[in-house]
Every structure is written in C-alpha cells, then in structure tokens.
Structure 1
Amino acid sequence: MAICAAIVGKDNSPKFFTCVNPEEELSLQYKVLSSLDIIEEKLNPTNKTATESKELYLGMLYSLENYKLYGYVTNTKIKFVIVVDSSNLALRDNEIRTMFRKIHCEYADVVSNPFYTPGSAITSKNFDASIKNIITGTV
C-alpha cells in the first residue's frame, strides 16, 4: 500500500522513519522533510481553512512523478507523513485516513510507555514492525 512512513516532532525533528525498501530511504527522507513546509503552511493560523477545520488529516501534501505524500497532524503538533507510490491507483483516501489513525494509536502506545523519554527518537523494533505492517496492509 504505502512505501514509507515518518513521524516528526513539533519542533520538526525526526522521531521515527521506516521504509519498505531500504535502498530508497535517503531520498524518501529528503522528500518527507521537504513536505514539512507544506504542513506548516496548512497549519498557519492566517489560513482560514486551517482554523475553521479541526481535522487532523491534511490530505495529499504534494505529488511527484513517482510518489504522493500525505500528511496528518495530532493535537500536540506531532506530524505523520506517509509516502505512497504514484502508480498505486487502488489506494483510496479513506484507506490512507485509516492508516494514519492506526499509526496514531501505535504512536500513543509508544509514548505512553513509562520507559520512553519524551521528545526522543523512537527506536523500538516492535513499533517499527507494527508500522511496516500498517503501511504494507498486512495487519
């Protein structure tokens, strides 16, 4: 379904990044980090649609030749980004919303762990495996 997922903190520092194909990881990290400007623009309080809507799902951030990037922001300004292959036409908007909700639940479970240091990168192998299962659709 998706090929990459990232979690970025409210200070735009990367907290978690996973990719189905490790060879594309560096280029996808660049694309994800470049999408943060678009997320900030959508969250800008001068933008009337952002203040009127309390929707966490931001929709498609931008589309490239090979990829489409989608965004989601929590109430605490943690940003989730999913990268989808552009050739995947079977993936619908509601399926992407569902992926974001599942990732948000997994993230909430990890940060609720008393051994997690708030604000640090997420290094849990179980979390990585569950996020890969969510983005590949093998849940």
Structure 2
Amino acid sequence: MNNIKSENELKFYYTVHTSLDVVEEKIQSVGSKSTNDMRELYLGLLYPTEDYKVYGYVTNTKIKFVIVVESSSNISLRDNEIRSMFKKLHSAYVDMVCNPFYVPGEQITSV
C-alpha cells in the first residue's frame, strides 16, 4: 500500500511541476504583450491528462495556484466554476498572509 501511495505522489509531483512550466510560459507570453496589464489572473487549462485536468492562476505578486481535478469524475466543471474556486482560494490566501500571527515560509494548514 505504501508503494501505491508513493507512486501516486510522484505522479502528482510530475503533473504539478509540468503544469508550472506551462504557467511560466503563459506568464512570459502575457508579459511580452503588455507589461502593465495583468488583470486576467486565470490561466485556464494547463495540462490535461487521461486522469486529471490541471488549471492555473497567478496573482499580481506572481504567486501561483494550481488546481488538479479528476477527468473521470461524472461532474464536468465549467470555466466560470474553476475561476470561482481560484478567486476563493486567492481570497483565503490573502486573509492568511495578512494574519499578524502567520510566519512567512511556514507550512499552510487548514484547521
């Protein structure tokens, strides 16, 4: 069972790291078009596989968020639902960082 868990973890690491490369490419292409226009934070579908779909979002301060969704699920999410998830995640992140008791670099956990 541990071997299966570590195989899945490696698969996720690979998927997320590959997606981050796509995020960098999209940021550079947007940056070259208009340097001051970063209003569109949602990057869309980054990396589809047979098992998962990976979506990306970048904040104005270059913080990158990645959401991995199962492709085989019966529920297909629309772009506006994914955008909404990212906006809520971004808002929660901002609230956490603005907390005076948060230590920068500390692992983020949910209570």
TM range (shorter): 0.7 to 0.9
- In the TM superposition, residue 34 of structure 1 has moved relative to its aligned partner by 1.8
Q: Report the 3-state secondary structure (helix = DSSP H, G, I; strand = E; otherwise coil) of the residue aligned with 1:58.
A: strand
1:30 and 2:14 equivalent? yes
1:17 corresponds to: none
TM-score for the superposition, normalised by structure 2: 0.79
Check whether the contact 1:43–1:50 (CA below 8 A) recurs between aligned residues. no
Question: Mapping of 1:52-131 within 5 angstroms?
Answer: 54-88=39-73, 89-118=75-104, 120-126=105-111
Q: 1:35 and 1:125 mapped to 2: Cα distance?
A: 24
SS at match of 2:86: helix
Structure 2 unpaired stretches of 5+: none
**Map 1:11-30 → 2, pairs under 5 A:** 23=5, 24-30=8-14
Q: Is the 8 A contact 1:70 1:82 kept in 2?
A: yes
TM-score (norm 1): 0.64
Runs of 5+ in structure 1 lacking a partner? 1-22, 127-139
The CA distance in 1 between the partners of 2:81 and 2:35, in whole Å, is 22
Return the structure number with greater relative CO, CA threshold 8 A, min gap 6: 1
Larger radius of gyration: 2
Question: Which protein has the bigger strand share?
Answer: 1
How many Å apart are 1:116 and its aligned residue? 1.4
- Note closer, same or farther for the CA distance 1:26–1:49 as it changes in structure 2 (3 Å cut): farther
Do the aligned residues in 2 keep the contact of 1:42 with 1:50 (CA within 8 Å)? Answer: no
Q: CA RMSD in A?
A: 2.3
Amino acid at match of 1:56: L
- Rounded Cα–Cα distance in structure 2 between residues aligned with 1:29 and 1:86: 17
